[in-house]
Structure 1
Amino acid sequence: MKRHSVFAVLPALGSSVMALQRSVRLLGCLLAFLAAPGLLATSTALRAASDLTSMDAAAASMARVIVKFKEGTELTKTLSVDASVDETVARDLLQRRADVLSSRVGVTLTSGRAVGPRGQVLMARGLSAQALAAKLAQDPHIEYAEVDRIRRALWVPTDPLYATGPTNGAGPAVGQWYLRAPDATFLSAANLPGAWDRTRGASSMVVAVLDSGILKDHPDLQGQYLTGYDFIDNAAVANDGDRRDADPADPGDWITSAEDKNTGGFFHGCGASSSSWHGTQVASIIAAATNNGIGMAGIASNAKVLPVRVLGKCGGYDSDIQAAMYWSAGLDQTGVPANPTPAKVINMSLGSDGTCPQSYKDVMSAVTAKGVVVVAAAGNSAGLAVGTPANCPGVLAIGGLRHIGTKVGFSDLGPEIAISAPGGNCVNLTGACLYPIITALNSGTQGPVAGGYTYSDSTNASVGTSFSSPIVAGTVALMMSANPSLTPADVKRILQTTARAFPTTGSAADTAQCKPPTSTEQLECYCTTTTCGAGMLDAAAAVAASVVKPVAKAELTTASPTAGSSVQVTAANSTVGAGRTVAAYAWTLKDGGGVATGFSTATNAATAAFLPSGAGTVVVQVTVTDDLGVQASADLSIVVAAAPVPPTPTPTPSNSGGGGTMSVVWLLALWFAAWLLRRQGRRPSRSA
């Protein structure tokens, strides 16, 4: 439905008398509405929401296409739309673009939302989406036209080992096995304890979860969310009575049996199901509160989750997902407030089959240029090819592993996968699931139940690559907390070079090696680096390899070290990684050279001093520790000179007068006396 501001109505309707009459009637209706605040009563609001939902449900029969206009065409110049334009004005401009194209291609087009720069959604009746895309792609103004497909959450596996189990139970007995250090039983465990020794995540680290929205009040996620956004532009899919808004809360995504069986209905063929609370499950894996005495541990518990709602009943459209990706990375979107807390990591546990469309490639190019890492689930179609968006260039596609390190049956595979991580598996065909992933949930089967906050367990098991992906996304958050300067390329390289090798034994005797994907399913198989990525995630090794070590510098501040005098040294010019601070200094005397036995000052400050007793060479060392506990050391060799020997003073004859002038007079007098004596000796002696 096309919406206009009061001031945009008349120009949009044209100059005909009939159009003018319609404008006057519409203007009168709008003025009457503004004069009657009682129309905003609850019952009317609910009826409006119901009408909006019905209208959007009816739109399901329309073909939906994402188009991108070529840069510099007359159409984009005269009808330019950017993020600074008011939403109402933007809708009018987008529809006017659609009207121009309608006359060119001979199809009545209705505009949807803008998608990134020069992109928008177009809808039409009477033909398929594929046919509409083909027709629009021929127009010289259009760079490309693609079907606006629906992507779905990837949490429900097709693995035959997926256990339905009883409805009352607990467990699993092994707890969060997938976070622990790997051992002979849990070969694929992600080795988080070693990573946590370095960081639990920076409070400034933001991970966007593009999913079904979140349960705001779950006790294990209190204080973990930032202000997000709901990007669903179809009220029937949104299921919350409206379209896009600033509330990413999850109202539930249940599908009733009647909706599923209603031929021609919006949700026909979606499959009857209870609400999944999928977004909350994913968010809890990444950042559930830790050490709070309740529930589960999150991977990056000090990081923050940016909840971005893109999935509702039966999934979500590509156009909404792509707009959310732009916004999450801090790239403005028309009609949406700017994102005050852009993400460094985006997790997308969603997708469907097919090759990567150009529109996703455009988004990934823009998002990656902002330094944002995008992590996505490979898919759960039992060993078929990796789906979209995980198969798009630049995305870290994540495969799923069983506890013993083999590919779990439901996980898709192929060369697009960067790395694999635990996806949960049950082993048994009946009874409680043995190795699921623990996630945060609500007990409501449709809407959320007040106080009904709980966790998945062995009888209500969570398994799927939807949960492999956030294990990696959480690890990436730790890596980028340890080193904020990492680029998406750096992250991929480190994850792959630190990954542990896949096992080649340990499963049933008939377990085969994984093969490249075809149209035939592959269940459990031994992974290779061409089918499941570089190896098994090792979070501890990845974080360790990400850390920028301090650069320790030990320098001499005493100009000429001399025995008997204090010698001063400093480490004040040492440096630590970006975003880090020096936590401690530690000075040690590596070699006293026989002239020093220790420091004369404290050894835990930036400066220190020692007092050498003689000449020699002294070696000191300083160790600098940053606030992540990462250390670096530096040695300094100091040559100490002997103490200078005082000069022997020249003896000075004493005299009563003192001073140099009197000494000369005294010498002259002495000379004169000697002369007189010689003179007398030359005279003849006289007789008595």
Structure 2
Amino acid sequence: MKFKNSIVFLLMIVLIGTSCPLGVLAESATAAQAVNSTMLVQSLDEVANIDKSSNIDQEITVIYKNNDASVQNLGLTTQEIKGGETLSPRVDVIEVNDAVNVDAMVTSLEANPNVLVAEKNRYIQTAELPNDPELSTAWQFERIGAGATWDQINNADPVVVAVIDTGLNTAHPDIVGNTVAGYDYVDKTTTMKDVAGHGTAVSGCIAATANNGIGIAGIAGNANIKIAPYRAGGTYEGDTNLSIASICAALYDAANRSDVKVINMSFCTYDPSSALEMAVADAASAGKVLVAASGNQGKIGNIDAGKDAYPASYAHVISVGATTSTDTIASYSQHNDQVDLCAPGDAVYTTSFTGDYKSVSGTSFSSPVVAGACAVLMAADSSLTSAKVETVLESTALDFGTAGKDDHYGYGLIQLDKALAALPDTSSITYRTHIQDVGWQDWKADGAISGTSGQSLRLEGIEINPQNEGYDLGVTYQTQIQDIGWQDWVANGTLSGTSGKSLRLEAIKIKLTGSDADLFDVYYQVHAENFGWLGWTKNGESAGTQGLSYRLEAIRIQIVPKGSAAPGSTETPFVSS
């Protein structure tokens, strides 16, 4: 994964219309001593909430260095601030009184040892162009190879994509059931809505339900992909404004969630934000895949054409440009040396916040196509890192434009089918059994049957070996033996059971070891006397019988990425008297 050069600018925005400002740094010691201690703000509960219609130029985003710091460490008074809200444990937004010099207060807060960054709050626009109601074909699904992959992935544990946007109509018939909890920073609630429309359109590109006979399908297809919507703005239909403070709070929250693997950011600004950069870096350090729109100002003659857009141009963010149905780069798609990939974004058909569908254009909709592809890859192999996900997509992309990486297409148009095919074999396991009257069978692997069925022959011993090139993975196992009970655990090819003693195996436990053991599940299923095949079980749980004197006759073992669906039914893997 490449690391982008990040240039941090301190935003110094001059507030117009302040007369006789209260210079925060110029306050004398005598004046400070004169402040009644009861006026010091100990909690933002002591001041009013920020009104939706308030002037954002009077707001300051404060990101603390850790969760222990809060507004009580800032030394602010009710003469200086009139409102504020805690958006997350590390993010506050403060509304200063009209007479206060906002820039001076930002400088003062930046010097506070408890503050990581403080800057004036402002809006970032979503990266959507006016829609075209005449176009109504979801062509984007086929152009990136998703038509060949929609039913290939069947992961048990969901891969969650955090969509930081204008919210989501969670009741949309093509979205319902495909969401998990997020947060609405506009209305301060976990109940989600979308009155602006942008977030629902973005989310549909990722996770609109496939194969349900209505509407469209998201890039996720049948994979278990969920949306965690975060509403950072959008107070009326068509409103494209998202608050940086809310975006940062959403990033910190998503970074702390173990279920969130991918974060989509379909918005951009050409003015760097230290607060946004810090929040992005925190999510990246938490291992999240970060995907963002490259921007819509790339058309020749646009004053911002060729400029870096943020957050797409920050380190560890996949910057995505937009292509048309003819695989050409869209005229508006931003171009710079930070563009990594491109995806369909011009006149794509997706879900509407009204419960219907609509055609939309912009890099806003290329970004979720790539974010959805990232989620599918992680659903196929939960051991993938964010760097590996990006590398696989870039190495399998369809190269357009100048050969190799270029400023318009990046590495090219993503191809999900090729990316899935390029994933390395995650893991393999081999095993063999010692069978009554037969002896040692040949080695079997990855779910194949070792033993017999219908011959009433007991298993007497077993050896199991992992075959895991590139992973630190071992296996340990123990068996319950006739007249002996549970043996001690053995590992990596060592005999468990007996040889030459005519004693049956009655039950078995298997689990993985090594530093990469948490990336996989080991499933196993046994064929037991008088029961036949019992259910699959995993990760050290018992399979077989106890107290019934029944023999094991066969076994199959399989390693799968962590959270993947069981190879078959998990009903009743173990029976005890």
Coarse TM-score class (shorter-chain normalised) = 0.5 to 0.7
Q: Which residue of 1 aligns with 2:208?
A: 288
Q: Alpha-carbon deviation of 1:478?
A: 0.7
Which residue number corresponds to residue 392 of structure 1?
Answer: 314
AA paired with 1:542?
A: A
> For 1:568, which of 438, 441, 459 is the aligned residue?
441
- Tell whether the 8 Å contact from 2:295 to 2:363 is kept in structure 1 after alignment: yes
Structure with higher strand content: 2
Out of 210, 220, 224, the position equivalent to 2:174 is: 220
**Aligned partner (choices 243, 258, 274) of residue 317 of structure 1:** 243
Q: Is the 8 A contact 1:548 1:576 kept in 2?
A: no
Q: Give the conservation status (yes or no) of the 8 Å contact 1:574–1:624.
A: no
CA deviation digits over 1:98-118, x for unaligned, max 9?
5x2469xxx823453346665
CA distance in 2 between counterparts of 1:303 and 1:532 reads 27
The aligned counterpart of 2:59 is 64
Task: Please tell me whether Structure 1 or Structure 2 has the larger radius of gyration of its CA atoms.
Answer: 1
Q: What is the one-letter code of the residue matched to 2:61? A: I
Give the deviation of 1:530 after TM superposition.
3.7
Within the alignment, does 1:191 sit opposite 2:142 as a pair?
A: no
Aligned length: 415
- Report the counterpart of residue 150 of structure 1 in structure 2: 123
1:131 is displaced (CA, Å) by 5.6
1:113 is matched by which residue type in structure 2? E
Could you say which residue in structure 2 is the equivalent of 1:497?
A: 395
CA–CA distance in structure 2, aligned partners of residues 583 and 218 of structure 1:
40
Note if contact 1:231-1:308 (Cα within 8 Å) is conserved in structure 2.
yes
Distance 1:207 1:164, change over 3 A: closer
Q: In the alignment, which residue of structure 1 is the partner of 2:453?
A: none
Query: 1:298 deviation in Å?
Result: 1.6
- 1:164-187 per-position Cα deviation (integer Å, ceiling 9, x unaligned): 56xxx5x53xx322221xxxxxxx
Match in the other structure for 1:370 = 286
* Cα offsets for 1:594-647 (capped at 9, x unmatched): xxxxxxxx9xx9xxxxxxxxxxxxxxxx99897999x9xxxxxxxxxxxxxxxx
Aligned to 2:269: 352
Secondary structure of 2:174's counterpart equals: helix
Separation in 2, partners of 1:486, 1:195: 18
- 1:108 and 2:80 aligned: yes
Q: For residues 529 and 583 of structure 1, what CA distance do their matches in structure 2 show?
A: 48
RMSD, matched Cα: 4.0
- Are 2:422 and 1:545 aligned? yes
Q: Distance in 1 between matches of 2:442 and 2:351?
A: 54
CA distance in structure 1 between the partners assigned to 2:427 and 2:109 by the alignment: 57
Residues 1:282 and 1:580: Cα distance change in structure 2 (over 3 Å): farther
**In proportion to residue count, which structure has more helix?**
1
Deviations 1:402-446 (A, max 9, x none): 22332201211212222111112xxxxxxxxxxx21111144xxx
In structure 2, do the counterparts of structure 1 residues 203 and 297 end up closer, same or farther at CA, with 3 Å as the change threshold?
farther
Structure 1 pair 576–110 and aligned structure 2 pair: CA distance change class (3 A): farther
Q: What whole-Å deviation, never above 9, does each CA across 1:220-256 have from its counterpart, x for those lacking one?
A: 1121111221122xxxxxxxxxx31111212x13xxx
Q: Deviations over 1:448-478 (max 9, x none)?
A: xxxxx2111xxxx311111101111111111
For the pair 1:454 / 2:365, whether they are aligned, the reply is no
1:652-681 CA deviation, whole Å, 9 max, x = no partner? xxxxxxxxxxxxxxxxxxxxxxxxxxxxxx
| Superposed displacement of residue 126, structure 1 | 4.1
- 1:535 corresponds to which residue? 412
Query: What is the TM-score normalised by the length of structure 1?
Result: 0.53
* 2:278 aligned counterpart, secondary structure: helix
- Quick one: structure 1 residues 280 and 373, their matched pair in 2 at CA, closer, same or farther if it must change by over 3 Å? same
The change in CA–CA distance for 1:417 and 1:580 in structure 2 (over 3 A counts) is: farther
Tell me how far apart the structure 2 counterparts of residues 377 and 112 of structure 1 sit (CA, whole Å).
Answer: 30
One-letter code aligned to 1:569: D
Matching residue of 1:209: 163
Which ranges of structure 2 fall in alignment gaps of 5 or more residues? 1-34, 40-47, 300-304, 445-449, 451-463, 469-518, 527-532, 537-555, 568-577
Alpha-carbon distance in 1 for matches of 2:91, 2:76? 14
**Is the CA contact 2:521–2:559 (under 8 Å) kept in the aligned structure 1?**
no
State the partner residue of 1:404: 326
Shift in alpha-carbon separation, 1:289–1:69, aligned structure 2, 3 A: closer
| TM-score in terms of structure 2 length | 0.63
Change (3 A) 1:543 1:374: same
List per-residue Cα deviations over 1:580-599 (Å, max 9, x = no partner). Answer: 677999xxxxxxxxxxxxxx
Partners of 1:483 and 1:547 within 8 A in 2? no
For 1:225-244, list aligned pairs within 5 A.
Answer: 225-232=179-186, 243-244=187-188
Question: How has the CA–CA distance of structure 1 residues 364 and 440 changed in structure 2, closer, same or farther, with 3 Å as cutoff?
Answer: same
Counterpart pick for 1:304 among 226, 241, 244: 226
CA distance in 1, matches of 2:309, 2:271: 6
Contact 2:345 2:362 in 1 (8 A): yes
The answer to whether 1:246 aligns with 2:190 is yes
8 A Cα contact 2:219 2:373, kept in partner? yes
Instruction: Report what 2:489 is aligned to.
Output: none
**Which stretch shifts more, 144-153 or 320-329?**
144-153
After the TM superposition, which residues 476-495 of structure 1 pair with which residues of structure 2 at under 5 Å, given as runs? Answer: 476-495=374-393
